[in-house]
Structure 1
Amino acid sequence: MTVRYAEPGSSFWPVLWAPGFALVGGGVEALSGSVHVLGWLLAALVLAAIWALWVLARRRLRSVLLTDETLRLGEEELPVSSIAAVEDDEPDAARVLGGGWTTPKGTRAVPLRLADGHLVLAWARHPDALASALRALLST
């Protein structure tokens, strides 16, 4: 399986916000006297778990992966063999791939014409790179 284009959806660096918050909170509390170390450790663990779930959800729902066989946008997979062409102009109304009503925030649309004639919208943070990778794959 050759990966032609990939966007992970999110990195795991936001999970580090939790220990950073706990360190800052513990430091501020140290200025007033005693520090509740166990409380700050628990706060860091709870916040890290919440942010880890957030990151995992973004990686699942906002990732883009183009291989020789499939284009996966979020949880939806589209066989490359069903893509006829990459269009230049975005249509007024078309189904968005990946399960959403609109393209995700921070992404732009890549209009695709399917083999059955329908227009759909793929999306990516770097739409020109995805469109180039798709065009190169379709021309082979």
Structure 2
Amino acid sequence: MLYDEPGSGGAPLLWGPGFALAGFLLELALGGPTHVVAWAVIGVGLFLASALWVYARRRFLSVRVTDMVLWQGREALPVERIAEVRDGDPPARAKPLGGGYTVPRKYQEVPLTLDDGRAVLAWARDAEALRAALRRALDAWENRRHE
């Protein structure tokens, strides 16, 4: 693995149960009636909602680079199809990888030229690290090809 950006960590899974526990403890501290079942249902409901959110982010916003494949969300691009990793501004009308219409918000663009001459946009939170990983993958592919 040359680059791995999972899209989301596991910490958001604890937010819902943590809020529910805080609500229960606040009721307990105030000395009023406590609603154990209600707080448990709220905690489970918030956990399930955040689990769906984490799953979606991991599926659609993950970025991985191996010496063979660039994964952008749901889309896999073999490294052998990449002709050039470009610096600078992306060309007009370059299609983002990953199946979306635009590069995800808060992600930086990395312009690529494919072997058929088309320009596409890879994306990551750290564009320089992705660019470096893609160049290492291209070097590894070139070395394998010439062996």
TM range (shorter): over 0.9
Task: Please tell me the root mean square deviation across aligned C-alpha atoms, in Å.
Answer: 1.1
CA distance in 1, matches of 2:4, 2:24: 39
- Which residue matches 2:17? 19
User: What is the CA-CA distance between 1:110 and the residue it aligns to?
Assistant: 0.4
Matches within 5 A, 1:17-96: 17-30=15-28, 31=30, 33-89=32-88, 90-96=90-96
Instruction: State the percentage of identical aligned residues.
Output: 50
User: What is the CA-CA distance between 1:34 and the residue it aligns to?
Assistant: 1.1
User: What is the CA-CA distance between 1:27 and the residue it aligns to?
Assistant: 2.7
Structure 1 unaligned segments of length 5 or more: list them: none
How many pairs does the alignment contain? Answer: 138
- CA deviations on 1:37-60 (whole Å, 9 max, x unpaired) are 111011101110110111011000
User: What is the CA-CA distance between 1:32 and the residue it aligns to?
Assistant: 5.2
CA distance in 2, matches of 1:136, 1:101: 28
- CA deviations on 1:29-86 (whole Å, 9 max, x unpaired) are 2315111111101110111011011101100000001111110100000010000010
Q: What letter matches 2:15 in structure 1?
A: W
- Which residue matches 1:139? 139
Runs of 4 or more consecutive aligned structure 1 residues displaced over 2 Å after TM superposition: 27-30
CA distance in 1, matches of 2:18, 2:78: 43
CA distance in 2, matches of 1:71, 1:109: 14
- CA deviations on 1:107-132 (whole Å, 9 max, x unpaired) are 10000000111100000001100101
- Which residue matches 1:118? 118
Compare 63-72 and 31-40 and name the one that shifted more: 31-40
CA distance in 2, matches of 1:16, 1:129: 29
Q: What letter matches 1:101 in structure 2?
A: Y
